[in-house]
Each structure stands twice: as C-alpha cells, then as structure tokens.
Amino acid sequence: MSPYAEAVLLQVGINVLLALGYWIAVSTGKYSFGHAAFMAIGAYAASMLTLNFAWPLPVAMLVAAVVAAVAGAVIGWMALRLSLLYLAIITFIFGQLVELLFAQWDYVGGATGMIGMTGTTLTLVYSSIAVVVVYLVLLTRSRLGLAYAAIREDERAATASGLRITRIAVGAFAASAAVTGVAGALAAHQLMIITPSLFGPQQALLIILYCVLGGVQYFWGAAVGAIVLSVLPIWFEWLNDWYMIVYGLLFVVLMIVRPQGLIGRSERSGGGPLLRRLRRDGAVAVEREREPVG
Amino acid sequence: MLGQQLFNGVLLGATFALVALGFNLVVGAMDRLNFALGETAMVSAVVGAVLMETGLPFAVAFLAAIATGGLLAVIVYVASFRYVSDRFPTASILSSLGMGLVLTAVVVKVFGSDQRSVPDVLAGVDLDLGLFRVSGAQLVIIVLAALMTVGLYVFLDRTVWGTAIRGVSDDPTMVALLGVPVQRVILLTFTLSGVLAGAAGLLTGLAYHSVSPFDGFTSTLTALMVIVLGGLGSVTGGVIAALVIGVLQTLTVAYLSATLRDLIVFVLVGIVLLVRPQGLFGRNAGVLERV
C-alpha cells in the first residue's frame, strides 16, 4: 500500500472513531460542544506516556481512554443535571478551558505542543474501530441501549419509567469521552506533533458535523458521515480553501432540511411540521371512526 | 492604582455586559442560544475599524457597526432559527455555530487574517478624577455602554414593544393569544441583540486598539461565562456578572499574573455551576425553569 493511501485510511479511520464516540453521547440526546477537549486529553495523556516513559502505544491508549472517561464523567455530572442549554454552555466552556490549560502547562510544551510521537498503524486504528463497533452493536441491543433511546425520545417518560436518567447519561458521556480520547491518542501518534490549538472549536464542530450529517439514529450513520466528510476534501482540492464556509453552510442547510441527519427515518424524529400535522389529523380521524356509535 | 484598576475592570465589564445582554435577550425570546453573536460583534468591529481608517468620524463608524450587528443578527435569525424545527433543541445552536464559522471565514477571506488596528478617538482628552484617569477612548466606551444598557432597561420596562418582548419571554403562547405578533417581537429581539453585540464589538476593539477575525470566539466564550454567572436569561444578573468578571480579570492581571486571568474566571464559573446552577442572581421563575 502506498504511504499516501495509508495516510488517508488512517485519517478516515480516526475520524470514524471520533464520530462513533460522539454518537454514544448523542444517542442519549445530549449534544456536547466541546468533544475536541476529550480528544486533546487523550492525545496528551498518551503522548506523555509514550514520549516520557516509553510506554507502548496500546497501553497508553487504554490510559488515555480512562483519563478521558474520568474527565467526561466529571463534566457530565456537572452539566447533565441541568438543561440542554447549560450542557451546551458548559461543554463549550470546557473545550476552551482544556485548550487553555494545555497551552499554559510547560511540561507538555505549552503552546508549541509536543513532538515526535509515532506508532499509529492501520491495525491499531481499525481494531479500535472493531472494538467500538462490537460494543455499539451489543449496546443498541441491550436494555442500556433502550434506556439511551428512551432518554433521547422523552426524558420525563424515561424518568417516570424508573430510569435514573442523570446517572445513565453520565455513563454514556464517559464512554463517549473514552472513545474520543482513544481517537485523540491515535491522532497524536499519527500527526507526530500536537498543539493545544489543534483541538480547538473547529475540531469540536467537525466531530459534531461527522455525526450529525450521517444521522444520529444509527451509529453506522455517524460512521458514514465521517467517511464522506473525510474523503470529500481529498477529492475536491478546492474545498481545502473553502471548507470553513462550506461546512458552516452545511450545518445551516442540514439543520433546516434534515436536523436528524441524512440517514434515519423521519417518522420517529417527527418529520417536518406539516407532515407531523397531517399525521396527527389522520390519527384523530381514525380515532373518531372507531368511536362507538350511540 | 487600585482605583484605576477598578475603573479599567468596570470598563471591560461594561463591554462584556453588552454581548451578554444580547445573548440573554435571545434566550428570553426563544429559549435558544445564538452562538453566532460573538462573530456578529467581531464583524461589526471590523466594519467600524475599516470605516474609521478611511477617515470617517467615530460616530459614523459606530452607527455603521450597530447597523451591521442588527442586520447580521436578522440574517442569523432567518438562517438558524426561523426555519429550524423546535423539536430539535440543539439544532439552532449547531446552525448558529455554523453561521459563526462562515462569518469568521468570510472576514478572513475579505480582510485577511491579520489583526487590524482601531484608531484612537478623542485622543487629546485625559480626565484626572483623583482616584483614576480617564482617556478619551475610555470615556467614549463607558458613556456609550452605559447609555445602551440604560436605554435597553427603559425600552424593556416602559415601551409597548419592550413589554411585548418581556411577555414573549415569559409565555409566548399566552401573549400570542392576547394578540401580540410573536414572530415580529422575536425579530425585534434578535435585531436588538445584534445592535448590542455590534456596539460591544467596536467598543472592545476601541479598548484594545485592535480587532482580529478570531475575536468572535472569545466574545462568545466570555458572554457565556457571564450568563452562567448571572443566571441564564436574567438581564440584571447579566450586567452585574459582567462587571464582576471584568473587575476580577483586571485585578488578576494587575496583582497576580496574566496567565491566571481566564483560569480564575473558569474556576468561579465552575463553583457557581456546582453550588448555584441557576446563577448568582437568577431568582425569577423564568430562569429557574431553564436550569
């Protein structure tokens, strides 16, 4: 395989991992706006271990997952008790806080970052994806997966059914952060150089866009979104120059036309307002017909 | 020395307050956050700075900046709020973040990514008030920021349209039944928030003598911390929290260390979120519902 093809496959694989990780949080209906921070935490934790302590990368990846999961649990615990608006604000601020902390921490190179990490291979990336996919397949078929869906669809009904929604959502958030941390570790050891600004708001938005473009209903939708958005700039070179504008507008158009993403039934997510009204009126008509006469 | 630092802090806080007020107005109107408001402020500041460089008086540049802010806010409203289904609470946030990206990218494409210097105003003025000195630019900033904040209070409190805005913020269904044109009130709210952001952008640029295309993000971040501290949707809380953060940042830079400036605010916001998530001043029912 040519080095170029390998680089592309590595990049696509890491992005798929990011999208899958983000999807875990989104499957409970909780959108984070600072997921790049977990990526940074994973990247820095793993790089510290491989560079300064000569740990093997797979072990460092596991540590990265644990550290990111702990950070995810703490942030989740702070934010998920509150409303979605607060979740958005807190994760957004958290992303900036992490970037700032790494930029001021001399041990990890401050704003100039760390350099010299290597070792990300196709085997490592794609076996991580395989592990996550197996986990997600089991998750979506388990009671826990059902609980995630219940929380996403209707929090009050889920609470009434006896689900401890905050605890479950925090768990999902931590798992999501762990996968994102692993992706960060892999990205760091592929890029060879990391700086705090690499994991800034643009990266955070990119992760969201991977997931939202594909559709939040099925996890493979998120993976498809990541693949499409990673490959497009390779095919269309001009996109590199314009991608901020194109991706920004993509968000705007997507949210108006299909906020649930390209893949997924519109029925469950409500469809357009008109469609919903038609359906509701239809349902009412059917009920009237069923009413007993006399 | 302390007097001067306190004054500088209040000055900084006054510009924070304007953007935070813009955020809170939109939260009141739609229970949504307009994440493009920081970029709106940045674009207005760039427009104002460009006009001032061509030699136009500050008053013209200021009017152009607030007009730009209002116009952009309306564009963002149409693109990211008007036609986005309210079944997806985060859709508008994502969409407005996207608009923010676009605004930054367009400014970089048109004006370049370099910092742009903002010319001084009233350069000859230097008031000595005993405890602290006020330069011409500082005088302009504090007077305009105070005027706009007080103006907003009077508008919300005394006028029909202001009452309508408060009504929509309390219960949109109810005021719609009473015959208030809710959509137009929301549009007005967005315009007002853009005007405030536009003014804040140019005044902040004036305070730092420079404006960069990447300032939008910082403004959004500061405004978010202000509204967490003051209580989401609380107008008075936002103003007080903005002044607190402004003074805190200035004092930290003056007496501790510049690197701690943002960290201290983060810690403060974190403590408030843990102990009193409704914000220091969020006592009104509307805010409690939003926590």
Question: Can you tell me the ipTM of this complex?
Answer: 0.85
Structure tokens of B32? 């949504």
Residue A115's DSSP bridge partners are A193
Domain map (residue ranges) of chain A: 3-237
Q: Is the pLDDT of residue A272 over 50?
A: no
- CA gap B145, A176 in Å, rounded: 43
Check residue A266 and give its pLDDT. 55
| Mean pLDDT of the region B214-225 | 88
Structure tokens of A54? 């000569």
Check residue A108 and give its pLDDT. 87
Check residue A277 and give its pLDDT. 45
Residue A199 amino acid letter: F
Q: pLDDT, tens digit, for every residue of B249-290?
A: 999 988 888 888 888 888 898 888 888 877 777 544 444 344
CB-based contact (8 Å) between A252 and chain B? Answer: yes
Residue B126: pLDDT band by 50, 70, 90 thresholds? confident
Q: Do A255 and B88 touch (CB under 8 A)?
A: yes
Residue A269: pLDDT band by 50, 70, 90 thresholds? very low
Residue A288: pLDDT band by 50, 70, 90 thresholds? very low
Structure tokens of A260? 């649930």
| Mean pLDDT of the region B179-187 | 90
Q: pLDDT, tens digit, for every residue of A248-260?
A: 898 899 888 888 7
Q: Is the pLDDT of residue A281 over 60?
A: no
Best residue of B30, B81, B97 to probe chain A, by most A CBs closer than 10 Å: B97
- CA gap A125, B258 in Å, rounded: 40
CB-based contact (8 Å) between A257 and chain B? Answer: no
A173 contacts A181 by C-beta, under 8 angstroms = no
Å from A294 to nearest chain B CA?
36
Q: Is the pLDDT of residue B194 over 80?
A: yes
Q: Name which of B262, B259, B268, B4 is nearest B128 in CA terms.
A: B4
Best residue of B27, B86, B102 to probe chain A, by most A CBs closer than 10 Å: B102
Give the rounded percent of residues in chain B with a pLDDT score beyond 90: 41
Check residue B282 and give its pLDDT. 59
| Mean pLDDT of the region A55-72 | 95
Residues of B numbered 64-123 whose beta carbons fall under 8 angstroms of chain A's beta carbons: which are they?
79-80, 83-85, 87-95, 97-102, 104-106, 109
Angle between helices B182-208 and B136-158 (to 10 degrees): 170
Q: Is the pLDDT of residue A292 over 50?
A: no
Check residue A265 and give its pLDDT. 64
Å from B83 to nearest chain A CA?
6
Instruction: Give contacts of A205 with chain B, Cβ < 8 Å.
Output: 97-98, 101
Q: Do B98 and A90 touch (CB under 8 A)?
A: no
Q: pLDDT, tens digit, for every residue of A140-198?
A: 899 999 999 888 888 888 889 888 988 999 999 999 999 999 999 999 999 999 999 89
Q: What is the mean pLDDT of chain B?
A: 87
CA-based nearest residue in chain A for residue B30: A85
The winner for highest mean pLDDT among A220-224, B27-31, B261-265 is A220-224
Decide: residue B230, CB within 10 A, 0-12 exposed, 13-18 middle, 19+ buried: buried
DSSP state of B133: E
Residues of B numbered 193-232 whose beta carbons fall under 8 angstroms of chain A's beta carbons: which are they?
217, 220-221, 224-225, 227-228, 232
CA-based nearest residue in chain A for residue B289: A83
CB-based contact (8 Å) between A80 and chain B? Answer: no
CB-based contact (8 Å) between A160 and chain B? Answer: no
Check residue A111 and give its pLDDT. 84
Å from A78 to nearest chain B CA?
7
Q: pLDDT, tens digit, for every residue of B139-152?
A: 899 999 999 999 99
Check residue A71 and give its pLDDT. 96
User: Which range (A159-163, A262-266, B17-21, B83-87) has the least confidence?
Assistant: A262-266
| Mean pLDDT of the region A225-254 | 84
- CA gap B193, B20 in Å, rounded: 9
CB-based contact (8 Å) between B266 and chain A? Answer: yes
Residue B200: pLDDT band by 50, 70, 90 thresholds? very high
Residue A119: pLDDT band by 50, 70, 90 thresholds? confident
- CA gap B247, B268 in Å, rounded: 13
Q: What pTM value is reported for the model? A: 0.86
Check residue A69 and give its pLDDT. 97
Tell me how many residue pairs between chain A and chain B have CB atoms under 8 A apart. 122
Q: pLDDT, tens digit, for every residue of B72-119?
A: 999 999 999 988 887 777 888 889 999 998 999 999 989 888 888 888
- How crowded is residue A104: how many other Cβ atoms within 10 Å of its Cβ? 15
Q: Is the pLDDT of residue A284 over 60?
A: no
Q: Is the pLDDT of residue B124 over 90?
A: no
Give the three-class secondary structure for B277: coil
CB-based contact (8 Å) between A58 and chain B? Answer: no
Q: pLDDT, tens digit, for every residue of B31-74?
A: 888 999 999 999 999 999 999 989 889 999 999 999 999 999 99
The counts of H helices and E strands in chain A are 13, 2
